[in-house]
Structure 1
């Protein structure tokens, strides 16, 4: 039965009645990461050292996942323009359900739960209308789809639950259609934005990019402990002319754009694949699989701090003052003053993201 948006908003209190198997019962899994293997695509649960706890097959290439805020459960998403999402029990990796995007839609590879855990929000493309939408799924009803909301732009790639219970959406502005695979249909008129939604899904503040960098697609998001939002971008024109790929924003202020010194910035090849703040909030990092490097900045001043080369690196997650990385060669590394290999999975090529579980 289709539920109205008003009912969706009014029923959040019922989430306290949901059965819960908390993260303490999940044991060792600390991260989720999708990978390509010689036998297809799989999703892995990894411990803090990068050792496999479980894995399960995926119908096609995966991208990222959303961890439930209380229950040992997560949803893993297909890579754009995929149409599946897998709900799994993070105690043992058992598949609970498989979701499919509605007809005329595809997922963008990301999603987020509401703070109470009742609803899953998914970033989607209405590819006939060229509009960004946020799908709403009710976990209490077996992940029934009950509504959808405007994303505030075109091409909403990542949605991030914020510490105040609202959400940030990276509207990357790429108008694409599955019939044309990933070809950009609106390069000349792109208007990326960072959109804030309140806890009820209403659009609030929006941050637009300057016209001179309108081709800088906002793709991935992270939030520091003090509330600052970071966003990673991907330049859609000549990589030699790429502007800053990292933006920093505080509500009510203008966005700041920061980059490494020019010679190092060019090595990113116009592409930031993931972003993370360190656990203590003092540093922020972006990765580039095209440039095979991670660059780290001071989260307060935006000053460039360091760069580390890691072949085909993309996945980033926070440690206390450092970062975890995953790459296409199968390695999971700790990045601090040096790069230390924690685990090596030579038969797996890690996809774009590594998603923390125990640190949510």
Structure 2
């Protein structure tokens, strides 16, 4: 007799299993990768209170993920430089597909669904040159790779779908790296940029930094529903420089760089690990695991204050505030500058929390 589990497994293998929404995965609201106590790795689903809704093993360290807009399906990306991306049925705990980049290329930790979930875009770079590419995958055809186009820079990292549902924003970090050991090869000639691309690969606008900030690598992005983009940076220049780590931009306009008071800026140690708008969109924040701090800013770039927490990094919008994580297993809510413990897990959270 064929069991229900065996029947479902056969459907998954054939790619014909019925699709279920996120309610079937414990009403998951977030995704987060983590390292377990036994040095293994996993992808977690989390609800709005930081409780685990599912846990799925990963073959190596994960970085960020992409959640399908309609069904309980996620893509877990390897930490840069990585060559695996797993498509996971989060309701059933099954790996549906294993994606690999073209020979000589690597995934750079981030991706995003578009076209109502019919297309997946992935951040990639060529190993030998660090030239950036966006990989294009047909979801309905079983995540078949159907093309790619340049990101408009080197060392791309985060990419996001803009509210018009027809434009991608890409953070080109500007860093050339050795494909074997991630050694940085071009710190003196870095040219990071924020690039907006059509789905056909046309460069719609490119934003660069002033020449004295050319070593400020643009790494992570947050996008508000009206098209305001926040970008988080990591300083690769001389240690001890109090450089701005947050920028704001709208298509067709110039970028605004947001600064904190000198002592606060120094405390971030030149590193912003994650960025998110608060749940109501009126403010945004960046985190620094190196500095153990979260900095809040208004949507015009005004500094609102700091929150301290050792090894804080993961950040996502939650109601009118944020959900944040640390490398000690902690999950907590931040609202109006106040931190409230939500849950603690026996793992070390990786850099990012992805809102579903």
Q: Displacement, 1:204?
A: 0.9
What does residue 230 of structure 1 align with? 230
Q: Displacement, 1:190?
A: 0.5
Q: For residues 162-213 of structure 1, what are the alpha-carbon distances to aligned partners after superposition, in whole Å with 9 as ceiling and x for unaligned?
A: 111111000001111222x121111111100000012433221000111110
Q: What is the distance in 2 between the residues matched to 1:134 and 1:310?
A: 35
What does residue 287 of structure 1 align with? 287
Q: What is the distance in 1 between the residues matched to 2:133 and 2:222?
A: 20
What does residue 10 of structure 1 align with? none
- 1:226–1:281 contact (8 Å) kept in structure 2: no
SS at match of 2:91: coil
What does residue 168 of structure 1 align with? 169
Q: What is the distance in 1 between the residues matched to 2:276 and 2:128?
A: 33
SS at match of 1:121: strand
SS at match of 2:342: strand
Q: What is the distance in 1 between the residues matched to 2:329 and 2:32?
A: 11
| Alpha-carbon spacing, 1:48–1:324, altered in 2? closer, same or farther (3 Å) | same
- 1:167–1:199 contact (8 Å) kept in structure 2: yes
What does residue 177 of structure 1 align with? 178
Q: Which blocks of at least 5 consecutive residues in structure 2 are unaligned?
A: 1-16
Q: Displacement, 1:22?
A: 3.2
What does residue 218 of structure 2 align with? 218
SS at match of 1:116: helix
What does residue 53 of structure 2 align with? 53
Aligned 1:291-306 pairs, distance under 5 A: 291-299=291-299, 301-306=300-305
Q: What is the distance in 2 between the residues matched to 1:197 and 1:46?
A: 31
- 2:160–2:169 contact (8 Å) kept in structure 1: yes
SS at match of 2:188: helix
What does residue 310 of structure 2 align with? 311
- 2:149–2:200 contact (8 Å) kept in structure 1: no
Aligned pair count? Answer: 337
TM-score by length of 1: 0.90
Q: Which blocks of at least 5 consecutive residues in structure 1 are unaligned?
A: 1-17
Q: Displacement, 1:352?
A: 0.3
- 2:48–2:318 contact (8 Å) kept in structure 1: no
Q: For residues 234-274 of structure 1, what are the alpha-carbon distances to aligned partners after superposition, in whole Å with 9 as ceiling and x for unaligned?
A: 00022311410000001111100011101111000000000
Q: What is the distance in 2 between the residues matched to 1:284 and 1:235?
A: 20
RMSD (Å), alpha carbons: 1.5
Q: What is the distance in 2 between the residues matched to 1:19 and 1:228?
A: 37
Q: Displacement, 1:25?
A: 4.2
Q: What is the distance in 1 between the residues matched to 2:168 and 2:62?
A: 23
What does residue 141 of structure 1 align with? 141
What does residue 131 of structure 1 align with? 131
Aligned 1:67-86 pairs, distance under 5 A: 67-86=67-86
- 2:121–2:136 contact (8 Å) kept in structure 1: yes
What does residue 192 of structure 1 align with? 192
